[in-house]
Amino acid sequence: MADMRAARLVEPGKMSCEKTAILEPGPGQVVVRNDMAAICGSDLHQVFFGNLGASSFPTEPGWPGHEGVGEVVETNDDSLKVGDKVLTIPGAGFQRCFADYQTLPAHWSLKLPDYDGPVEDLLMAQQFGTTIYALRRGNMDFTGKTVAVLGQGSAGMFFAWLAKHYGAETVIVSDLSPARLAQSPIFGADIAIQGDAEGRAIREAVMDSTGGRGAHIVIEAVGHAETILQSIDIARPRGHLVFFGLPDTAQPVQFSYSKFFGKQLQAYAVVGAQAEEDLSSFHKALDWISRRQIDVTEMVSHRLSLEAIDKAMLLAHERDEDALKVTLTF
């Protein structure tokens, strides 16, 4: 097959766009010509906080992109045909959405439903699907509850929406970005708090809202040590903690086990939604977006070319220019 453009991580925090060969598909795989790709918070962790050795650079072409939409141009699987429009949700070993073409198992290529809006709306179903999967894992009752969401990237906004959708009475969110907080009410936030390193503002908001008891459910969607500790602090006795944010360090995070134990908290971490056997969380996300049960039309703030991959990563990482969801167009 012909060559293509592909983003590559050439050193920690630095990406470039290069020419490389398109990978031939194996059995059960397809080749998708990408229309758009989105930058995920986990991509930023890999690019800026990864611990790759010098021998790992440059990385695989298109890595670590795993949120994409495009058209099937070659297939070795009966479930898809050439011309099908798909959402690509590749798991480990196939995360190569930051390229003109990606080769991946057909299982991770979901046919797009009928939709008369822009394709970037359906692209949001990848991140949305991971949050649906995360809350299904916990099997929690949200009805009438107070829910705190730490972090208002796309995942945090989706968590806020889901909490309201599942019946939460009050949703309190926090983030460092004023632009993200301004969007939060669209996705269900009742109270949006400017974050601080010590967590004083979110703690005050949660305690004021709950008569000093704390939130029934706390969702950590950042992955920083500070917000992990804040989660324990603002949860009420016998509350639930959901740790979704990808850790930004491999070092141990010290916390007060006495406080955790005394509150009798239940906690779980969740990652790897692509391992869901039937991928029903992603299908549900596509369905809700295509039927406009959730409005994602204001989520994408930036659309850059693949050649601008380094600028796009920095925008998403540093949150300059009021960046919300940063995308690449092909």
**Picking from 10-19, 135-144, 204-213, 313-322, which range would have the lowest pLDDT averaged per residue?**
313-322
| Max Cα–Cα distance, the chain, nearest Å | 64
CATH number for the domain running over 130-273:
3.40.50.720
pTM, 2 dp: 0.96
pLDDT cut 90: percent of the chain above it: 88
DSSP code of residue 195: -
Alpha-carbon distance of 159 to 189, in angstroms, equals 10
Alpha-carbon distance of 225 to 247, in angstroms, equals 8
- Judge if the upstream peptide bond of residue 118 is cis by omega within 30 degrees of 0: no
C-beta of residue 245 within 8 angstroms of C-beta of residue 221:
yes
CATH number for the domain running over 3-124+299-329:
3.90.180.10
Alpha-carbon distance of 163 to 141, in angstroms, equals 10
Query: In the predicted model, what is the mean pLDDT of the chain?
Result: 95
Task: Output the pLDDT for position 249.
Answer: 82
Task: Output the pLDDT for position 320.
Answer: 55
Q: Residue 17 forms beta bridges with which residues?
A: 7
Domain segments of the chain: what residues?
3-124+299-329, 130-273
C-beta of residue 325 within 8 angstroms of C-beta of residue 318:
no
φ, ψ (nearest 5 deg) of residue 258: -60, -45
Output the DSSP codes for 108-163.
GEEEPPP-SS-HHHHHTHHHHHHHHHHHHHHT---TT-EEEEE--SHHHHHHHHHH
Task: Output the pLDDT for position 155.
Answer: 96
**Picking from 16-20, 82-86, 194-198, 325-329, which range would have the lowest pLDDT averaged per residue?**
194-198
Is pLDDT of 126 > 90? Answer: yes
Task: Output the pLDDT for position 26.
Answer: 97
Query: Do strands 101-105 and 29-38 pair parallel, antiparallel, or not at all (unpaired)?
Result: antiparallel
Task: Output the pLDDT for position 1.
Answer: 61
Task: Output the pLDDT for position 319.
Answer: 63
Mean local confidence (pLDDT), 285-308: 96
pLDDT tens track for 168-218: 999 999 999 998 999 999 999 999 999 998 899 999 999 999 999 999 999
φ, ψ (nearest 5 deg) of residue 69: -135, 145
Strands (E), 144-285: 146-150, 170-175, 191-194, 215-220, 235-243, 266-269
Residues 6+ apart with CB under 8 A from 181: 152, 173, 175, 192, 193, 194
Is pLDDT of 55 > 90? Answer: no
- pLDDT confidence of 248, banded at 50, 70, 90? confident
Task: Output the pLDDT for position 107.
Answer: 97
Total Cβ atoms within 10 A of residue 122: 24
| Residue closest to 201 by CA, chosen among 172, 163, 179 | 172
